[in-house]
Amino acid sequence: MIQFTEEPQIECKLICGQNNNLVYGLCQPELVYGSLQQNFTLMCIFPFVFHRNKCICSQNYLLDDNQCLNILDQLKYLNQSNLDLENKLINNISVIQQQRLKDLYKIDQDLQNNTKYIENIVSQYKNQLIIEIYTVNKSLTSLANSTASKFIELRDDLQRVNNSMLTQIQLTTAQFQQKLISMNQTIQQQFEIQTQTTINVNQTMYNMNGQILAVANQINTNLQKQIDVTKSEVKTVQSSITGINAIINNINNVNAVQSADIQALKNQQNSNMTEPFGA
């Protein structure tokens, strides 16, 4: 039970799970749902625990809400079975006690009826029945002794029944507690296994991330080197292209000059051929 406010407080029994783990529960005289309210003492039912204003599945078990609710249903079923057994035992004891009381009441009624009958006979035949009265008294004494003996036997039977019922209840309670202990141990073992598995996975991922990072860095370094080499080669090719273009331009210029000279010579030759001979 976790207390959040000062006195006075009202105990509020919470049912946990469902609706995104919002706490809700029946509190007389009103229903509390969702966020915490003042003047309430809040508690969660095992195996749920109270965490940040919510009932959630215990972090020690790594179970989801449905598994927790299944465990809660099993505990409720075992508890209800135990209560049913106790009620059945109580009913059996009650039936036996009622039957014994009826027997005692009948015996008492028989004694009272016999006493009344004897009183009537004595009143009518007092002088004649002294001997018979003595005999009847003796029989009544024997009957009283027998009744007392039966009452003692009845008391012993009831005591034995009570002892047997108590032993059965104690045994049932011990078995229930043992089941709870075994269930708790199983859940704890599963938690430890899952925790170790999670640790191993996280370590493996960490190692893989380191290896991937190292490979990526190496690839990046190699690519950068290749890019630098390629840039240098591109610069060299560009310089070569520039030189070749200059050579081509020079050749074109020379060709133009030579072409002009050739054309001039041709023109000179043509001019000489068209002039009159001897002129």
Spatial separation of the C-alpha atoms in residues 211 and 214, rounded to whole Å: 5
Give the number of other CB atoms < 10 A from CB of residue 48. Answer: 24
What is the residue-level pLDDT of the chain in tens, covering all 279 positions?
A: 333 333 333 344 444 434 434 344 333 333 333 344 444 445 555 556 655 555 555 655 555 556 666 666 666 666 677 777 778 888 888 788 888 888 888 887 888 887 777 777 667 666 665 677 677 777 777 777 777 777 788 788 778 877 888 888 788 888 878 888 888 888 888 888 888 888 887 788 888 878 888 887 888 888 888 888 888 877 887 887 887 888 888 888 877 777 777 777 777 777 766 655 454
Could you tell me the CA-to-CA distances from 110 to 53, 143, 194 in Å, in that order? Answer: 69, 11, 75
Side-chain-side CA neighbours of 233 within 13 Å: the count stands at: 6
Longest pairwise C-alpha distance within the chain: 219
In angstroms, rounded to a whole number, what is the distance separating the alpha carbons of residues 144 and 138? 10
3-state secondary structure of 4: coil
Position 94 scores a pLDDT of 79
Two structure tokens written together for 224: 């950068």
